[in-house]
Amino acid sequence: MIKKVLSVKGFEGLRIVYRTKMGDGVYGMCTGSQNLIELSLKQNTTQEMMDSSLFHELLHLTIYKAGWSEILETNSVVEEGLVIMLENSLKQIVKFEYEEIENNTKVN
């Protein structure tokens, strides 16, 4: 487990954990109630993929913070479809920036 704390505008207190072990085909996970995003080091093999997965999970967090996760049901096909739609359109017009403010490396 590699834990980084990133500062992302609008997402104060967000914790990012980079996992060496996650489910097959899982690039990232968002646990909104814990303000936590987990990213797979196995699946995201380039920085571009990592940034793309982080952006994707931030959109899930946005839906959670807006209170829509309960309406859409967590991990529902509808929420995933919305996130992918927003991701594909927003990445064309949004410059995604973040700043690393802490890095703790732990081996579990």
The letter for the amino acid at 28 is G
State which residue, 80 or 102, has the beta carbon closest to Zn ion. 80
Sheet with strand 36-40: strands edge to edge:
28-31, 36-40, 15-19, 2-7, 99-105
Distance between CA atoms of residues 17 and 57, nearest Å: 12
State which residue, 80 or 100, has the beta carbon closest to Zn ion. 80
Count of residues interacting with Zn ion (CB under 5 A):
2
Distance between CA atoms of residues 96 and 74, nearest Å: 25
State which residue, 54 or 83, has the beta carbon closest to Zn ion. 83
* H or E segment to which residue 86 belongs: helix 77-90
Site for Zn ion in 76-105 (CB under 5 A): 80, 83
| x/- letters, 51..80, toward Zn ion (CB under 5 A) | -----------------------------x
Note the residues at the interface with Zn ion (CB under 5 A): 80, 83
